Structure 1
Amino acid sequence: MAARLAPERRTRLDLTITAVITASVVLAGVLLWWTAPSRTTELRTATEEPVVALPTESLPTAFRELWRAPSAATDVPAIGKATVVTGDGGLLAGRDPATGRELWSYRRDAQLCAAVAAWPGGTNDALGVYRNSRGCSEVTALDASSGERRGNRTSDADASITLSYDQTFALAAGDTRLETWGTNLVRGIEYGRVDAPVNPDVAPDRDACHLYSAISGSSRVAVIERCSRDEGYRLTILSSTLTDEEKIREWGSELITDSAQGAPPVVIATTDSTVTVYDGGDPNRPGPTVRTFGTDAIERGARSVEGAATPPADSRPLNARALTTYWTGRSTLVLDSTTGEARVQISDTIGPGEQATGLLIPVVGGITVRDPVNGAELRRIPVDRGDYRGMVSLRTLGPYVIEQRGAEIVVLGPPAE
């Protein structure tokens, strides 16, 4: 007959320890729930698929304002396949281009750092980057038409960033570090400040670099930076993804100014063969220039242009239909998106534009319609912008013209019949 085991004796100390452990687990769970982003997140998806606006075959002779909405998180109009995406405060929203009505919304108890509508001809994402204790580090991807959640990622980041995208990658760039992500939000590279590098030999050997501007394109990232041992500004060209050895491939890196006395140059286009840079502050040149470089960072040519020595901080290049436009503060440059070469320069403008039925560029009191080949004015359409006097970034969606005026999106359409 088997011997009976005496029951385990539990002392008062055992019970106290058990109670403390249980309370600690419960408290940790409550704290995790209390601090979780999902607790303060509200997502409302679209009830039906929005209609894709057909491209317009002709522009009206006049425009009227259809609606406007705050959008401080966008630098240029964020245009999805069928929606206008706005970002302001903690709200990311997809709106009907005709009425401005919210078709979907995503709201968090956190501030948006930046927002874009990316890959409208493909995955059609709305990307919102939110600020937390690690900087502008929390990324959410939503379907730009329905608002349905596509994914999230988080990592270390700077306190402010610029957010852009090319055919394949999104790029978040701050003043000490940058990252690329694919359409699945998987990171391609991180470059610059990395607080806890897993492999310290991944990146090129440069220290304490300040990043001034960055643009991605054709699986490359072009960066203007200045590092601790540099007398002037440096152009560095990187691959958007790591090599098979999990390292950053550097195509070229060269000092492109002799000193840092002038304003830092700005990268405005990157192709598979050329990087285009606006340089307004080099004291060795007679004035602002557009400089072209090979992917080895060696200069190939330069052209004098009209522009400010320091271009507006919120000026961003716009890519549309094989053209890139960039506002220098005084004129709009029109570049070939394939070669990066400057085609024409349009004077007395107030921002970049895009090609629809002609090249539409914002000017004081209206929109000038230009021949994209030679820049000749075809006609001019009046626009009443009231008291607004700042830069205007202009894009189109079907028959609608969308303008970013400072921290606000304004949508224009044909006059009422």
Structure 2
Amino acid sequence: MVSAVIVVVLVVAGVAVWYVSPARHADDVQATSDSPAFAPADVVPAAFVARWHAASAATGTPAITKSLIVTADGGEVTGRDPETGHQVWRYSRDIPLCTAAAAWPNSADEVLAVYRNSRGCSEVTALDGGTGRRVGNRTSDADDTLHLVTDSGYVLAQGPGRLETWGSNLVRGIEYGRVIAPVNPDVQPGRTDCTLFSSAISGDRLTVIERCADDPGYRLTVLGALLDSNEKVTQYGSSLITDIATGPPPVVIAMSGSAIAVYDGGTNASAPSRPTIRLFDTDGAPAGTDIVQGNPAPPADSIPLTSGGVITYFTGTATVVLDAQSLRPRYLVPSTLGPGEMMAGELLLPGPSGVSVRDPATGRPVRTIALKREGYTGGTVSLRVAGESVVEQRGPTVEVYGPAG
């Protein structure tokens, strides 16, 4: 009798877990095998032709796995053949997507899909980048909006009120900001009522621009990506980097193993109100300033891209090219539409009339490849490279161009 009761309890518990799990509410079509990985281009094509386009409002920049191009729209995430745009795999749910991103294409090769429920952008599903097979899930308290930043080891999930780090197994490293019912209240640094604006991660450290209660300006904080041996959040540095907060907040562009780069549109009252790239070391101490061309607030959809040893960042009027290690600006390319990436040893940037091909060391223009952007009426263009193809994200649309001929 006791055994029967135990069995019934276990069955009921199992049904309850299934009822509320992502699996019950998901519709997925998986690929039976991986597609061939992208082969690096030997040369930049002389011309490009449009191959296909698709809606992808939940990605801020093209999501590219080891072998596929991923689009995310509504509640659906789709792995697509790069040449035809045809569906290779699909994962969909009956709740809206907050955001989706490709992570670790050279190792775990996953796609992270974040869905919104009553707890915010809370439900995270990890999908195999080649097949769409579910490889992990997690859920926790979250904000209503979320931005994902990945590096080779961790992903940083940041909203306006809190952030978390996860490994490729989706196990949480730290949570920072708004923490509901903390087990140990001494785990967090002592600041309260903070708004988080932008962030970046590199190795075992992350940095965030925030403004906390009673702060006169914006603050740069550097934290450990994992809890320390006492199960506390490690703070390597935190200091005010502006003396007022009436202007747009500075934006973290990138973090490397030796530096942090921040775009400041001119927030300080005590300094000239000109846009600058401000450098800090990985403890948050100032390390230099370079004047650049840009808007006081860069576009909200301006996301830095890293490839071939350089980082490109769109300021709203120009693209700044930084060294990926020192993060020092190499040069600035005016009159662009967004950031770009390397192909066959040359830098490709989106320009008004097409793709601007440049020498990555000097920024010298090599040539312009004409490109027809159907339906484009303005805004940031984020250009990525997938083998011999160029992939652009323009607002909620991803369009793929392949070599002509």
Q: Which amino acid aligns with 1:399?
A: E
Match for residue 376 of structure 1 among 357, 364, 370: 364
Tell me which amino acid in the other structure corresponds to 1:340.
L
Match of 2:398 among 380, 393, 409: 409
**Aligned residue in 1 for 2:384:** 395
CA RMSD of aligned residues (A): 1.8
Q: Which residue of 2 aligns with 1:85?
A: 70
Whole-angstrom distance in 2 between the partners of 1:258 and 1:118: 36
Aligned twin of 1:349:
336
Shift of 1:220: 1.1
Distance in 2, Cα, partners of 1:380 & 1:334: 18
The alpha-carbon deviation at position 405 of structure 1 amounts to: 0.8
- Of residues 262, 265, 280 in structure 2, which corresponds to 1:277? 262
The DSSP-based 3-state class of the residue aligned with 1:239 is: strand
> Contact 2:265–2:273 at 8 Å: present in 1 too?
no
- The separation in 1 between residues aligned to 2:234 and 2:209, in whole angstroms, is 17
Cα distance in 2, alignment partners of residues 328 and 192 from structure 1: 28
Question: Which of residues 207, 218, 234 is equivalent to 2:203?
Answer: 218
* Cα distance per residue 1:262-321 (max 9 Å; x no partner): 110000010122111000032422410000011221211101100000110111111112
SS at match of 1:37: coil
1:168 and 2:188 aligned? no
Structure 1: unaligned runs, 5 residues or longer:
1-23
1:298 maps to which residue? 285
Alignment correspondent of 2:125: 140
Aligned counterparts of 1:288 and 1:141: Cα–Cα separation in 2:
38
Inter-CA distance 321–410: structure 2 relative to 1 (3 Å threshold): same
Q: Could you tell me which runs of 5 or more consecutive residues in structure 2 were left unpaired when the two chains were aligned.
A: 1-8
Do 1:218 and 1:270's aligned partners in 2 also have CA atoms closer than 8 Å? no
Larger Rg: 1
User: Is the CA contact (8 Å cut-off) linking 2:88 and 2:131 kept in structure 1?
Assistant: yes
- Percent same amino acid among aligned pairs? 50
Instruction: Pick one of 313, 319, 323 that aligns with 1:332.
Output: 319
User: Helix, strand or coil: the match of 2:24?
Assistant: helix
**Amino acid corresponding to residue 153 of structure 1 in structure 2:** R
Find the aligned partners of 2:14 and 2:306 in 1 and give their Cα distance.
47
Identify if the C-alpha distance between structure 1 residues 413 and 25 changes in structure 2 by more than 3 Å, giving closer, same or farther.
closer
Q: Aligned letter for 1:137?
A: S
Of 233-242 and 276-285, deviating more is: 276-285
Q: Aligned match of 1:321 in 300, 308, 311?
A: 308
Deviations 1:385-413 (A, max 9, x none): 13312211011111111001110110001
Q: 2:85 maps to what in 1?
A: 100
**How big is the shift at 1:34?**
5.1
- Superposed, which structure 2 residues align to 1:61-76 within 5 Å? 61-76=46-61
Q: How many pairs were matched up?
A: 394
* CA shift for structure 1 position 38: 2.3
Give 2:45's aligned residue.
Answer: 60
Structure-2 separation of matches of 1:304 and 1:29: 60
Matches of 2:199 and 2:175 in 1, distance apart?
13
Question: Shift of the alpha carbon at 1:195?
Answer: 1.2
Paired AA for residue 394 in structure 2: R
TM-score (norm 1): 0.91
Distance 1:385 1:298 in 2: 43
Match of 2:5 in 1: none
Aligned 8 A contact 2:33 2:130 in 1: no
Displacement of 1:25 in angstroms is 11
Alpha-carbon displacement from aligned partner over 1:314-355 (angstroms, at most 9, x marks no partner): 111111122111100011111111111111111100000011
